[in-house]
Chain A
Amino acid sequence: MRVTKPATLAEAIRFLSTNPEAKILAGGTDLLPRLNQKLEYHDLLCCLDDLPELQGISLTAGGGLYIGASLRLWELAETPALAGYLAIQQAAAKVASPQIRNQATLGGNLLQENRCMFFNNQVPWSDVNKCFKWGGNQCFQYKGSKECVALFQSDLAPAMMAHGAQAVLTGSGGERRMPVAELYLSAGRKAIAHDEVLTGLVLPPLPAGSRSAYRRWTIRGSFDFPLVSCAVRLKVEAGAVADCAVVFGSAGIMPKAIDTSLIMGMAAGDPQGLAQKLMPLINKAVAPFRDTRVNAGVRVDMAKDCMAKALAAVCSG
């Protein structure tokens, strides 16, 4: 395996456009474990870890924020610039473990591979259980599925979506922007060309009366990916819900936003009432995914719990 480390973004994009097989490595905390465990192999890596163009946080002309994709998760969790975007900071503060948060980048977290107990605990030398992700033609989560339905377990993605973040992609053809939600395609694919780099995120300004929160469920308090998570952003006007976003993470092959029109105008002082109203939407939002410890029913319960707690946090705070 060869690894190249371009010094500038332009150099990186030139390299990527002439080496379509190159796999991008940022912090490395998502990719390198799979490489070490022989679950994945690449001839060529392009390390974007320290590109100067991908660093820093700045104010945008519209009063929002531009966040470089190489910002480390600990910076994201601790920077005062993001104080109002609590869901994002809470999500960043919960990812994996302190060491991972010191190394992993925002961009890498948003573009991490989808996961599943069948693939990520695959025995690389075994020839039973070959799933789609492993070059086989079946899915063990859902027998009969035509493609991989592995979970997308990013903590940051639902929080970014709840805040209406835009992804900034830079490639040979220049720069383009799209809502974070649109990064995610079926079967874990991402809407990024091989010569494009996720260079940053643009967060819209926080409207007055807005609050957000992120809650998640894990087996252990550290290391674990969320079994399910929920980011909530709520705007309150005159004591009533004026705007609300509820996005579930680890809910399926991509984060799932649910329709919150049902609670518009309802009293913001009654988080339980809001939660009750939205509960019926969760069954459909959360994929009945199982692993070695939880089944579909538990995950739906956990999703409800996450949402109720996140709503309670934004209503009370």
Chain B
Amino acid sequence: MNATMYELELTLNGKKVKDMIPSDMLLIDYLRNVRLLTGSKKACGAGECGACTVLMNGRPIYSCITLALQAQGKEIETIENLSDGDTLHPIQEAYLDAGAVQCGYCTPGMIMSTKALLQKEPQPGTQCIKEAMAGNLCRCTGYQQIIEAVQLASERMEQRRRDS
């Protein structure tokens, strides 16, 4: 019961932060309850759904089966970091335009997996999208419009790269 405290230092959404936390605290609880970043969701607590997906050093992980202290010295990025003021990230725009959002509970995790995918593979084929996103469950959409959203985001980001 007597959890010792741990001094956690990490880069969270681009900013260095430092917190004293119980050593057994889960990363999802740190993000939601300490940092009040409630965009990441706790839906299974077992790494079986993907609603808690955040990026650790650029790669998607399940924050519900990761201890906060495992993020020591690392970069964590959450859904809250994607939009810039009034401007949505192209992935967020694409999710809206493709109709990839229904109840929205899986959406933050889905978008974080999409971000990591498009970073690594800017123009993924359908099978590549399915494989890369297969760690995120969605119960509403049947996935089809999410795949379309990823493709749309990929096209638009490619266009933006070409334009700039």
Contact of A102 among B1, B26, B60 (CB under 8 A): B60
Q: Is A2's CB under 8 angstroms from B24's CB? A: yes
Q: Is B24's CB under 8 angstroms from A1's CB? A: yes
Bound-state Cα–Cα, A1 to B130, Å: 38
Q: How far is the CB of B51 from chain A (nearest CB, A)?
A: 11
Given A37-B46, A102-B59, the answer on whether A28 and B6 have CB atoms closer than 8 Å is: no
A contact patch SS: mixed
Q: Is B72's CB under 8 angstroms from A32's CB? A: no
A195 within 8 A of B: no
Given A3-B24, A4-B23, the answer on whether A99 and B72 have CB atoms closer than 8 Å is: no
Which of B61-69, B97-105, B154-162 faces chain A?
Answer: B61-69
Q: Which of A36, A47, A49 has the largest number of chain B CB atoms within 10 A?
A: A36
A221 within 8 A of B: yes
Bound-state Cα–Cα, A34 to B135, Å: 19
B108 within 8 A of A: no
Q: How far is the CB of A225 from chain B (nearest CB, A)?
A: 11
Q: Is B60's CB under 8 angstroms from A99's CB? A: yes
Q: How far is the CB of A41 from chain B (nearest CB, A)?
A: 11
Bound-state Cα–Cα, A32 to B45, Å: 9
B4 within 8 A of A: yes
Q: Which of B1-46 contact A (CB under 8 A)?
A: 1-4, 6, 23-24, 26, 45-46
Q: Is B113's CB under 8 angstroms from A47's CB? A: no
Q: How far is the CB of A78 from chain B (nearest CB, A)?
A: 10
Q: Is A33's CB under 8 angstroms from B135's CB? A: no
Give the residue name and chain of the B residue nearest to A39 (CB): B46
Contact of B45 among A5, A33, A74 (CB under 8 A): A33
Taking CB atoms, residues of chain A closer than 8 Å to B1 are 1
Q: Is B113's CB under 8 angstroms from A2's CB? A: no
Q: Is A49's CB under 8 angstroms from B59's CB? A: no
B56 within 8 A of A: yes
Q: Which of A32, A37, A97 has the largest number of chain B CB atoms within 10 A?
A: A97
Total count of chain A residues near the partner, CB < 8 A: 27
Q: Is A49's CB under 8 angstroms from B70's CB? A: yes
Contact of A47 among B50, B53, B60, B67 (CB under 8 A): B67
Given A25-B67, A47-B67, the answer on whether A98 and B24 have CB atoms closer than 8 Å is: no
Bound-state Cα–Cα, A223 to B60, Å: 15
Q: Is A102's CB under 8 angstroms from B69's CB? A: no
B80 within 8 A of A: no
Contact of B23 among A3, A103, A223 (CB under 8 A): A3
Q: Is A99's CB under 8 angstroms from B69's CB? A: no
Bound-state Cα–Cα, A1 to B6, Å: 13
Bound-state Cα–Cα, A29 to B67, Å: 10
A100 within 8 A of B: yes
Bound-state Cα–Cα, A57 to B68, Å: 27
Bound-state Cα–Cα, A16 to B34, Å: 30
Taking CB atoms, residues of chain A closer than 8 Å to B26 are 32, 36
Give the residue name and chain of the B residue nearest to A103 (CB): B61
A50 within 8 A of B: yes
Bound-state Cα–Cα, A36 to B53, Å: 17
Chain A 8-33 near chain B by CB (<8 Å), digits 1 or 0: 00000000000000000100110011
Taking CB atoms, residues of chain A closer than 8 Å to B2 are 2
Give the residue name and chain of the B residue nearest to A72 (CB): B59
Bound-state Cα–Cα, A97 to B53, Å: 12
Q: Is B134's CB under 8 angstroms from A102's CB? A: no
Contact of B72 among A45, A50, A100 (CB under 8 A): A50
Give 29 pairs: A residue, B residue, CB < 8 Å, sorted on A. A1-B1, A1-B23, A2-B3, A2-B23, A4-B23, A5-B23, A25-B67, A28-B70, A32-B66, A33-B47, A36-B26, A36-B65, A37-B45, A47-B69, A47-B70, A50-B72, A50-B73, A96-B135, A97-B135, A98-B135, A99-B60, A99-B61, A99-B113, A100-B62, A102-B60, A103-B65, A223-B48, A223-B134, A223-B135
